[in-house]
């Protein structure tokens, strides 16, 4: 229900555009399909997906003899969900949380996308579930990043392991793992610096952090979550591609979906990069982070 509420803005904007489109066309003809294709591209579902869906829709509308806008809309929703769920078998939306051992989750992403906020929200959720949670402030590059995580630590009532600004991120992670073991913690969230400006350095830094983690826990990190700002549309796609080159991303956190009509980016990223969206951010509040549900999401775009 929260997802539906949070998506109101996305939803309204997208359905508004769609309704205008339907109002402008008395008949579902070739001009309509061309406009629809453009509308889907504008919503950032991705060029290939837009073409594919429009093609399939042409066939389907013919087959089902769909003439009313509600019929056409139903077919579009079906197609979007189908295109999203095609790869469901090979992908897993759930976070890989160990039952009895320490789970380590790395967060990557550029500044301002909502990394710290998402970590804080997630830490709070797991704490409320009764898990012992720790956070590591391994973004030592940006002065404000550590303080920001500490603020979220207070909000989420979760301890933050921190080092000095400008210090070695891997050393902070090492300390955090020691502490997590000492306290028999369930989950450790690691905030990292996402400086894409220097890819080689970023790659080295993440590799070093991973090595330190793996020395202590061989099968960790259990997730590497890339945080992307949905309002940046195709830019988010570019970042996703770049991070994929730098490290093994296991899932995406798509933030700020409450403030954008570009919700189609979810489909584009899934279809083009094959990385599952695991969580979506729907606001600035501590409870505004949700597991991603494709059917609900796509249906929400139109209702
Ligand atoms: P970081 O630099 O990646 O750690 O980004 P922050 O966590 O500091 O977030 C940057 C800004 O985005 C802050 O003002 C957050 O409140 C805001 N923000 C984060 N997630 C969301 C979201 O899902 N919706 C909205 N509307 N704002 C968000």
The pLDDT tens digits of the residues spanning 58-76 come to 888 788 777 777 777 777 7
What is the distance in A from the centroid of ligand 1 to the CA of 205?
24
What is the distance in A from the centroid of ligand 1 to the CA of 118?
8
CB of 258 within 6 A of ligand 1: the answer is: yes
Q: Tokens standing for 218?
A: 């061989």
* C-alpha span between 174 and 221 (Å, rounded): 13
CB of 251 within 6 A of ligand 1: the answer is: no
pLDDT band at 300 (very low <50, low <70, confident <90, very high): low
Binding residue numbers for GTP: 109-116, 191-195, 255-258
Q: What does DSSP say about strands 289-291 and 223-229: parallel, antiparallel, or unpaired?
A: unpaired
What is this structure's pTM?
0.81
To test the pocket of ligand 1, the residue of 109, 110, 117, 255 to mutate (highest count of ligand atoms within 8 Å of its CB) is 117
Percent of the chain with pLDDT over 90: 46
84, pLDDT greater than 80: no
What is the distance in A from the centroid of ligand 1 to the CA of 115?
7
ipTM confidence score: 0.99
What is the distance in A from the centroid of ligand 1 to the CA of 51?
33
Q: What 3 state SS string does 181-223 have?
A: HHCCCCEEEEEECCCCCCHHHHHHHHHHHHHHHHHHCCCCCCE
């Amino acid at each position: 229900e929260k997802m539906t509420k949070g998506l109101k803005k996305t939803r309204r904007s997208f359905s508004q555009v769609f309704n205008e489109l339907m109002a402008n066309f008395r008949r579902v003809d070739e001009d309509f399909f061309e406009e629809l294709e453009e509308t889907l591209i504008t919503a950032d579902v991705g060029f290939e997906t837009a073409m594919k869906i429009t093609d399939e829709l042409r066939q389907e509308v013919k087959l089902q003899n769909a003439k009313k806008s509600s019929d056409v809309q139903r077919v579009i929703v079906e197609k979007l969900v189908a295109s999203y769920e095609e790869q469901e078998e090979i992908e897993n939306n759930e976070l890989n949380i160990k039952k009895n051992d320490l789970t380590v989750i790395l967060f990557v992403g550029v500044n301002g996308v909502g990394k710290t906020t998402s970590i804080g929200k997630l830490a709070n959720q797991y704490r409320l579930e009764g898990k012992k949670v720790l956070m590591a402030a391994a973004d030592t590059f940006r002065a404000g990043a550590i303080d920001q995580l500490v603020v979220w630590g207070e909000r989420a009532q979760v301890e933050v392991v921190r080092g000095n600004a400008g210090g070695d991120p891997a050393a902070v992670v090492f300390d955090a793992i020691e502490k997590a073991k000492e306290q028999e913690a369930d989950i450790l969230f690691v905030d990292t610096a996402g400086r894409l400006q220097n890819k080689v350095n970023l790659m080295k830094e993440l590799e070093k952090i991973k090595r330190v983690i793996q020395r202590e826990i061989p099968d960790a990190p259990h997730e590497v979550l890339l945080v992307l700002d949905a309002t940046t549309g195709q830019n988010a796609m570019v970042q996703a591609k770049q991070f994929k080159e730098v490290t093994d991303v296991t899932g995406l956190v798509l933030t700020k979906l409450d403030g954008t009509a570009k919700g189609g980016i979810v489909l584009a990223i899934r279809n083009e990069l094959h990385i599952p969206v695991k969580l979506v951010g729907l606001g600035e509040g501590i409870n505004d982070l949700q597991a991603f549900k494709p059917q609900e999401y796509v249906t929400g775009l139109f209702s």
